[in-house]
Chains A and B, each alone.
Chain A
Amino acid sequence: MARLKAKYDLAERLLASAPAGGAKWVHDARTAAAARLREMGAPHRRDEYWKYTDPSALTAATARAAVFEDPAETPPFAGLDRVRIVFVDGVYASDLSSDLSDADVVIEPLADAMEKDTHWANGLYGVLEARGQARVNRPLAALNTARAVEGFTIHVTGRARKPVSFVYIHRDATSDAMIHHVIRLEEGAEVTLLENGPVAARSNIVTEIDIPDTARFNHVRAQGRDHERLCATAIFARLGRESIFKSFTLTVNGKLTRNECVAELTGNDAIAHVAGASAGDGTYHHDDTVFITHDAVNCESRQVFKKVLRNGAAGVFQGKILVQPDAQKTDGYQISQGLLLDEDSIFQAKPELEIYADDVACSHGSTVGAIDEGMIFYLTSRGIPRREAQDMLTFAFLGEAVDEIEDETLADEIREKLAGWISRHSA
């Protein structure tokens, strides 16, 4: 069992340097997370959920150099009135950020929260992550809980006026970032979280979100323009009664991206929508791994993932809907589609349904294909050049995922980025 041993040896190596400081609850959370990682071992290609994505670059001793070339274009969300929180190479840069005391949500750097003997994050930090480990091992997330010192705690008590916006700037070629956010909403509260920027040469970001009864959490994320980046993210959301969780991610380029999303619907009539549009050209590997658990009556979940791939780019989708025995009247939907612009690219999908209740409606679909020549002929016969016709169809294909974004202003920001990518990679 030499291979298995390597998994556990690697887990030890990853856990070698424990962060200093922190209150007792932080110490306890880190210790428990370290124990989880030791128990499950580091991710390995042989693991069921790492079959299509090689994690070795994510667990290597050092981050491979990734020089960030500033594209000199306006980043998304730039024109929006927002609470801007800037990280440089994974480290909070207060001088570049908004004045946090002005915000109508309580925002605190994780490092500060961790020094307090009593903090609301005790009870959430590492807790939702641990719950998310119940059925599938997520070793990188456990590692993150055990080691992260960067990130933010956000407490939303009402309807937040402005979105909270994390901007991740990448400067140092070999930066290796580990970030952990904890977000807690009160009943009936509402907030929008925006994220953009290349983060670092390598990054591991965990976000735990507690969305109690009738609260609403909106999330729009743009991962773009950094061809060399390696990145693993994991979102853990817990939803109460009549709460709403909506998350959308645009990913364009990046050498390796693994986005996990784990949502648990624990209160009746809750809604969870997770969507992603991804476009890759060349050395690009993009993996969406989603796990939605229905554990209450009359909840709705929706997964919409679309990927356009060319020049050897690879796309992976692993999406699961688990319906527990008492989760009657569940409405679960899942679609994953890959559009391959040439024969060198690959899209692999693993849709999973596991249903223990008898009165549910769950559907899933997965397709992979090339551009429809019939549509191309129709468009070109009207005078639209082939290349432009292909770009129109590509944009339309991904647009169906972008349409999942509720806020039209944010959707337009994403559409603009997407159109930019398509025109830059037109051929």
Chain B
Amino acid sequence: MLKIKNLLVSLEEENKQILKGVNLTVAAGKVHTIMGPNGSGKSTLGYVLAGKSGYEVTGGTVELEGRNILEMEPEERAAAGLFLAFQYPVEIPGVGNMTFLRTAVNAQRKARGEEELSAADFLKEIRARAKALKIDADMLKRPVNMGFSGGEKKRNEILQMSMLEPKMCILDETDSGLDVDAMKLVAEGVNALRTSGRSFLVITHYQRLLNHIKPDVVHIMVDGEIVKTGGPDLALAVENNGYADILAEVA
């Protein structure tokens, strides 16, 4: 599904290298997670995959189902099946949540040469999916993320993911700022979307999210590189002992 080869990325503004040769392959239907200490480049990886400006890719390739996505605009990557759930979802005054989502769904359909969803069909779909995430009609009507609590914003991200039906989902610290119940709700939302054709890359600081979203593969990222890869046990080891052991081992 997703193949990252020797990805080198620096900040455009200052000559600072953030990713120093990331290699990662996520197979279809698999859930991978990336853990790592603050400043290791996890969120940068998410942003670069989604096509945020301000980063310069100085080397390496990223393929989504065999297509090089680094040359694509963010909207083209989205239409190709990539989705980034933001750590800090952006508030957009004056744009209704529902309008936003319908525009997004139909823009992707159009880009893929599919027929646009009618207003009625869209409404039916979104109502069912919003209900599962405990998102009420008022939240759908309000401007995008405006006045949403931290938990509401994250559930709204999962709702978008659910409506857009991407193939490759990147979740950037979706657990941050969530209480236990909200985390469970979000995790259930994610688990409901797990299919054999859809892959996930879950970026997180903590193992606790992984109690709810069971990963197939765990990667540890340190200083812009993936230094260790293992099974779910690796996440437990981090939870118990921190990154010190791994850092010592790598060094």
Contacts and interface: CB of A to CB of B under 8 A. Distances in A.
B95 A392 contact: yes
Interface stretch (A26-34, A260-268, A314-322, A377-385): A377-385
B75 interface: yes
B90 A374 contact: yes
A229 B143 CA distance: 36
Interface residues of B, number: 31
A13 interface: no
Interface stretch (B102-110, B123-131, B232-240): B102-110
A375 interface: yes
Contacts of A397: 94
Contact of B78 (A373, A374, A375, A382): A382
A382 B92 contact: no
A412 interface: no
Given A377-B53, A378-B89, A388-B103, A383 B79 contact: yes
A158 interface: no
A373 B90 CA distance: 11
Contacts, number: 79
A426 to B, nearest CB: 14
Contact of B51 (A375, A379, A381, A384): A381
A174 to B, nearest CB: 41
A381 B103 contact: no
A408 to B, nearest CB: 15
Interface residues of A, number: 21
Contacts of B79: 383
B73 interface: yes
Interface in B73-105: 73-75, 77-79, 83-84, 86, 89-90, 92-95, 100-101, 103-105
A396 interface: yes
Contacts of A131: none
B140 interface: no
| Max chain B C-beta neighbours (<10 A), residue from A373, A381, A395, A396 | A381
Given A383-B78, A383-B108, A386-B75, A392 B90 contact: no
The prevalent SS among residues of A at the interface is helix
B180 interface: no
A400 B103 contact: no
A399 B94 contact: yes
B94 A383 contact: no
Given A373-B53, A377-B52, A384 B92 contact: no
Contacts of B164: 382-383
Given A383-B79, A383-B108, A388-B107, A396 B94 contact: yes
B107 A385 contact: yes
B107 A396 contact: no
A377 to B, nearest CB: 5
A385 B75 contact: yes
A393 B95 contact: yes
A345 to B, nearest CB: 20
Nearest to A394: B94
Interface string A393-424: 10111011000000000000000000000000
21 contacts: A377-B50, A377-B53, A378-B92, A378-B144, A379-B100, A380-B78, A381-B77, A381-B78, A381-B83, A381-B84, A382-B100, A382-B108, A383-B79, A383-B111, A385-B73, A388-B107, A392-B95, A392-B103, A395-B94, A396-B92, A396-B95
What 3 pairs across the A-B complex have the smallest Cβ distances?
Answer: A396-B94, A383-B78, A383-B108
Interface of A: 373-375, 377-386, 388, 392-393, 395-397, 399-400
